[in-house]
Amino acid sequence: MQISYFHTSEAVPPVLGPGEDGPDAAVVIDVLRATTTIAWSLQNGAEAIEAFADLEALETAAAAWPAEQRLRAGERGGARVEGYDLGNSPLAVTPERVAGKRIFMSTTNGTRSLAAVRTVPLLLTACLPNRLAVARRLIERECQLVWIVGSGWEGAYSLEDSLAAGAVASAAMELAVAPHRGVRCGNDEMLAALALWQQWRHDTETCLRAASHGQRLIGLGNHDADFACCAAVDSLNIVPIQAEPGVLRAS
């Protein structure tokens, strides 16, 4: 398995069509906080997450869904979009709130990365809580070429997404039949992410708080519970997978 890492959706090469040498799997990461919220939503019984890069498309799709079976989750600049049911906090998607519901979601960065690789045959989302489960799925599917795509912040590098990219790749290496056998880095960005994970693997929350987006969230108010949840390594076994274009379900 060759794993490459791209910091943002803007850095992703054009996805090739069937039969061409594109990736057979893509893993999208937005640690703070979209992919953590997606994982916890599905863990707590949401029917599906339907992701949108822009709010207008979200509104159109949500309007066609039964009102009692839908929730709109919108975040811009770290804050909940006014009038929406949810923002982008994994603590808000409780079983009582989301069970049986489809969540129509649009965030500042994460949903753009999902859109960039939505045509890849196997599309998963990862965060620190489910990094081992995602790595296991990649191994089970015998994926040969994997792209991990971070979300960054409005096109800029994101420390916490790179940390999680290294966490996923490290788990894949650990799960290989022999250490590192058959799992290799496809670019320098992946090597750097692995080094970052080795540096911070025992203190992930400090890394998340030190990151520029972590500092942004701290400036918006008390997000202590969100930081703890997003930093909790291997606390979930759920693997969100794209079941149809733009729609993620538990697997």
- Give residue 77's pLDDT: 87
Q: Which CATH architecture has domain 2-250?
A: Alpha-Beta Complex (3.90)
Q: What span, in angstroms and rounded, lies between the C-alpha atoms of 226 and 57?
A: 28
pLDDT of residue 179: 54
Tens of pLDDT along 128-169? 999 999 999 999 999 999 999 999 988 899 999 999 999 999
Which phi and psi (to 5°) does residue 75 adopt? -135, 135
pTM of the entire predicted model? 0.95
In tens, the pLDDT along 177-221 reads: 665 568 999 999 999 999 999 999 999 999 999 999 999 999 999
Domain boundaries of the chain, sorted by first residue: 2-250
Q: How far apart are CA 59 and CA 82, in angstroms?
A: 13
Predicted confidence (pLDDT) per residue in 56-102, tens digit: 999 999 999 999 999 999 999 889 999 999 999 999 999 999 999 99
